[in-house]
Amino acid sequence: MLINKIVSSILQTILFGIIPVAWWFVTVRKHQKFAEWIGLKKVQGGKKTLIGIIVVSIVFIVSGALTLYTIRDIETANANGSIIPSWIIHTISNLFSGIYAAFSII
């Protein structure tokens, strides 16, 4: 069972990577590099930018950890329980993930 999941994960990752590369190869290979086509750009900045990214990362990691620590005693959804606590946990986690991603890009 574990081997099947590992093989499935590897195949899905390869498929996930092949489709964009194939599309780029067929459509815009002569006009743009692949990294540029998928939106990767070099960050313009020095130490201030690096320090900002590190500070924002630490703030959001700590706030996410504190949130999970605060709600550690809430029972998650099961056959007899409510789905609301589980929904709250996932909403808060996704919120912090989205904010972290947005500020890391800036």
- CB environment 32-57: b (16+ within 10 A), e (fewer): eeeeebeeeeeeeeeeeeeeebeebe
Q: What is the pLDDT along the chain (106 residues), one digit of tens a residue?
A: 788 888 898 999 998 889 899 999 999 989 999 988 988 887 777 888 888 878 888 887 888 778 777 767 766 555 565 666 666 777 777 777 777 777 666 5
Q: What is the pLDDT of residue 83?
A: 61
Q: What is the pLDDT of residue 24?
A: 93
Position 12, amino acid: Q
